Structure 1
Amino acid sequence: MSLQEASEARKARLLALRARKLGQSTEEGTPEPLIGGRNFDPVSRTLKKHTTVAEMEDTVENNVKGLTEKIIAEDEEKRQQELDIFNIAPKRPNWDLKRDMEKKLAKLERRTQEAIHTLIRQRLAAQKGQSDDLVGAMKAQEEQNAANSSDEDD
């Protein structure tokens, strides 16, 4: 088959397709009706009849048919039982107080650690200066803090 013959065959197919799309017959007779869609059976060229789907025996609805009544009955039984106050109250009545205080205690813990470090430094400064009095150690610490703060300002 040459290229010329293939081209003419393709043109003929396209013209036939265009004519069928417009609802015209390929022969010079009555036009073909346009039928298409989900209900059209292309093999028999007729409309499909609606068939009813037989109910399946093993469905979710059949499996849970009595389940809703059972759950409702159990719920009503639980509501009829007397409400126990001990089950509502927390086992530790101060758990919420501890939860609220944790943030504040974290800040205080940091400050406590800083104070402990300061006291240790003062004792070390007192030992280096061979000073037995606490006042001398505190003055040495204040001088050191002042020197550190002046260095930071510069």
Structure 2
Amino acid sequence: MSLQDTSEARKARLLALKARKEGSSGQGIIKNRNFDPESRTLKKHTANEDVEMDTVEKNVEGLAEQVIREDEEKRAEELNVFNIAPKRPNWDLKRETDKKLAKLERRTQEAIHTLIRQRLAAQKGESEDIVGAMNAQEKAQDEALSDED
């Protein structure tokens, strides 16, 4: 296409657009809802018109009274101790003692092991001290290994 062909096509499109605009402007009517073009002032809505404006004042009209009423109802309710008390009365005590109990559990298990070793050593006739119990345990392990061979 040459430059002249493209310019002719563009002119045709512009004329069609202009004709369409002129044709549609006759259909659209400008409505002045808030402005009176004759007196050049704002229109005042009368009570007989069906214009109902949605305003913030209408949205919050009864809100203040409702909030005051709800507040008075809450204050009127008697303070119930069961609502503020925790479900388990000793939950805070358990929270504090868990760490200490973990240490004590480990020490308890060690003490139980030493007592068992001492009893085993006493049954085999050796001394009742810890060293004798450990020696007895080592002998028992050696005997178990030799039996397996």
TM-score over 0.5 for the pair: no
What TM bracket, shorter-length normalisation?
0.3 to 0.5
TM-score computed with the length of structure 1 as normaliser: 0.41
Larger RCO of the pair (alpha carbons < 8 Å, separation 6+):
2
